[in-house]
Amino acid sequence: MNPRFFCPDGLLPDSDMPLPTAVAHHAERVLRLAVGDAVTLFDGRGGECAATLLALGKQPLARVGPRQEVDRESPLAITLVQALASGDKMDWVVQKAVELGAVAIQPVAAERSVLKLTGDRAAKRVAHWQQIAVSACEQSGRNRVPAVGEIVPLARYLAQSFDGTRMILAPGAAGALARKGRPTGPLAILIGPEGGWSPAELQLAERAGCAPLALGPRVLRTETAGLAALAALQTLWGDFPGDGHV
């Protein structure tokens, strides 16, 4: 696969197009690409364009081919609702959730969240996670960039309408995932923080219509649980191949 770059301001298929400064810098300074090298450009609106680098430096330019309607999205529209986790765990979760096909990542503040973010710090962190999502799309071949939502308290998220099925991971919950019916619309999976959901939060989620779900007999870490759930959902009802190939 050729190096892939996200062009947020759109593409100009079948033309010689100036490259965004950030794209040109990454191509030249980080990947050490040169004039004449082949790349792939996408703008997050679906599809992609093969391109050839014509110039780098102060006036970077690429010769862009026709838009190719390449779709690598999952048939499942899964939103990962992740309680804030400390350290670089959120970076990891966002990156891998995008690779596993999540269509959106919604960070929520839970009672037992170690990480506390408000105001400018919260906005900067969300912008950082959104860039991680972009990089994960460039790496994984996705042509639609999942949105990372602003951080909201769990109660505010649960009060929002959701036209689909919501599940909340809760150790000890009855009922295996494989015995649940395939969702007919969007799906949201809620993952607790390091200390788990509080009893009050689980009651609130149940009143909001979230189905409790357990992933086996072991308690998973917050940075593991959501990714395991995404992989299981893709295996059961999504786009994971059944021939053993990666």
Measure CA of the first residue to CA of the last residue in the chain; give whole Å.
Answer: 15
Could you tell me if residue 73 is inside a domain? no
Task: Supply the CATH number for residue 102's domain.
Answer: 3.40.1280.10
> Pick from 25, 41, 68: which residue ends a domain?
68
Q: Calculate Rg over the CA atoms of the chain.
A: 20
Length of the chain: 246
Give SS3 for 8: coil
Record the pTM: 0.92
Q: Which two tokens stand for residue 54?
A: 């014509």
**Domain contains 244:** no
| pLDDT, tens digit (0-9, with 9 covering 90-100), for 17-69 | 999 999 999 999 999 999 999 999 999 999 999 999 999 998 999 999 999 99
Number of domains in the chain: 2
64 and 82 assigned to the same domain: no
Q: Considering the domain boundaries, does residue 178 fall inside one?
A: yes
Domain containing residue 29: 4-68
Provide the β-strand partners of residue 168. 190, 212
Residue 242 lies in a domain: no
What are the pLDDT digits (tens) for 140-185?
Answer: 999 999 999 999 999 999 999 999 999 999 887 876 777 777 888 9
* Residues 84, 193 contacting (CB under 8 angstroms): yes
User: Model confidence over 190-231: pLDDT tens digits?
Assistant: 999 999 999 999 999 999 999 998 888 888 999 999 999 999
- The CATH number assigned to the domain holding 33 equals 2.40.240.20
